[in-house]
């Protein structure tokens, strides 16, 4: 780990003042190196109290540490402080022949997009923006329900680490206290010659501890931690999500998805092939489809698109 990453870890774990001399001795670096590292942390949104004679004390904010995530998940991490989009980073890495699986991580995003090309709000500090590139090499009808699996892994990870309960809105949004805090975007690349899905990129954006959500979004968008200081770091949550994703069987994650569904047994509206429909969402199939009992009669399974709840 870099010097400033080691200093952050020491201050965060101590939660009390540590002198510059003590930090310099433990890390075997100069006092000047400690001062420069503190400035780097402050530039990355970490609030540190400085007191003459006492040293430095962590106050708020956390730091993304790729080496720590790799050690906890086994995933190689490609990290940049600022990115247009981690989906684009993953595609560029794929084209460059980077190893897979690999996690692409950014401190913030400047041109993030969600499903259907919608803009996804990202903040300079306090969000999680990541994309996982994997190579399943399976036929399309054998492709795991990756969006469903990641949504379930995220909800489960949040509950394990914080005790907070979230809900999943079919097909790719996670809500906390009635507001969206997570968006998931899964993209696939297929081979015409072999008829298989060769590559999948799963993008995840999480409002972890955002303080500057625009007023026009505050009614819809929330944050896992808002006024309260986070009880975990972003590294903790990222690692737990991908640990659950890679170790919990798909059918168990499917059960979590159904249990945490926002739409089941509720009246929904949606559009398919240019026609509007409405009905009661009855079930979610193992392949991720939504079964709706139509107001006009009969059942319809939808596998893509977006549903709206008649009453929120």
Of 218, 261, 242, nearest to 70 by C-alpha is: 242
- Burial class of residue 198 in the structure, from the number of CB atoms within 10 Å of its CB (0-12 exposed, 13-18 middle, 19+ buried): middle
Is there a binding annotation on residue 109? yes
Residue 292 · residue 299 · CB < 8 Å: yes
Question: Residue 69 corresponds to which tokens in the numbers above?
Answer: 């995530």
Is there a binding annotation on residue 272? no
Separation CA 107–CA 125 (nearest Å): 7
Is there a binding annotation on residue 113? yes
Is there a binding annotation on residue 180? yes
**Beta-carbon neighbour count of residue 7 at 10 Å?**
29
**Beta-carbon neighbour count of residue 263 at 10 Å?**
21
Is there a binding annotation on residue 31? no
DSSP state letter for 140: G
- Residue that is written with structure tokens 């770091």 in the block: 233
Separation CA 177–CA 197 (nearest Å): 36
- DSSP E strands: which ranges in 123-265? 127-134, 138-139, 167-169, 173-176, 179-191, 196-207
Question: Residue 251 corresponds to which tokens in the numbers above?
Answer: 């059918």
Separation CA 284–CA 297 (nearest Å): 19
Question: Residue 34 corresponds to which tokens in the numbers above?
Answer: 């400690």
Q: Is the peptide bond before 40 cis (omega within 30 degrees of 0)?
A: no
- Give Cα 311 to chain centroid, integer Å: 27
| Annotated binding-site ranges | 109, 113-115, 180
Residues tagged in the binding site annotation for biotin: 109, 113-115, 180
């Amino acid at each position: 780990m870099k010097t400033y990453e080691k200093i952050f870890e020491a201050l965060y774990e101590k939660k009390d003042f540590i002198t510059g001399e003590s930090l310099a001795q433990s890390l075997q670096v100069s006092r000047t190196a400690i001062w420069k590292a503190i400035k780097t942390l402050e530039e990355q949104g970490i609030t540190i109290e400085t007191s003459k004679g006492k040293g430095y004390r962590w106050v708020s904010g956390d730091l993304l540490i790729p080496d720590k995530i790799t050690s906890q998940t086994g995933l190689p991490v490609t990290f940049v402080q600022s990115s247009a989009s981690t989906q684009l980073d993953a595609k560029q890495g794929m084209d460059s022949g980077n190893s897979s699986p690999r996690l692409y991580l950014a401190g913030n995003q400047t041109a993030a997009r969600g499903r259907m090309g919608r803009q996804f709000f990202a903040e300079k500090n306090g969000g999680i923006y990541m994309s996982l590139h994997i190579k399943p090499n399976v036929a399309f009808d054998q492709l795991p329900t990756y969006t469903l699996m990641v949504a379930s892994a995220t909800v489960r990870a949040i509950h394990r680490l914080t005790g907070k309960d979230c809900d999943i809105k079919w097909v790719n949004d996670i809500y906390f206290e009635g507001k969206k805090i997570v968006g998931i975007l899964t993209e696939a690349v297929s081979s015409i010659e072999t008829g298989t899905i060769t590559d999948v990129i799963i993008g995840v954006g999480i409002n972890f501890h955002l303080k500057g959500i625009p007023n026009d979004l505050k009614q819809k968008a929330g944050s896992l931690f808002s006024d309260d200081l986070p009880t975990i770091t972003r590294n903790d949550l990222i690692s737990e999500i991908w640990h659950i994703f890679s170790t919990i069987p798909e059918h168990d994650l499917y059960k979590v998805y159904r249990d945490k569904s926002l739409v089941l047994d509720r009246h929904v509206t949606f559009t398919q092939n240019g026609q509007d429909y409405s009905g009661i969402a009855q079930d979610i199939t193992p392949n991720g489809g939504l079964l709706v009992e139509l107001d006009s009669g009969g059942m319809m399974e939808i596998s893509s698109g977006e549903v709206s709840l008649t009453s929120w």
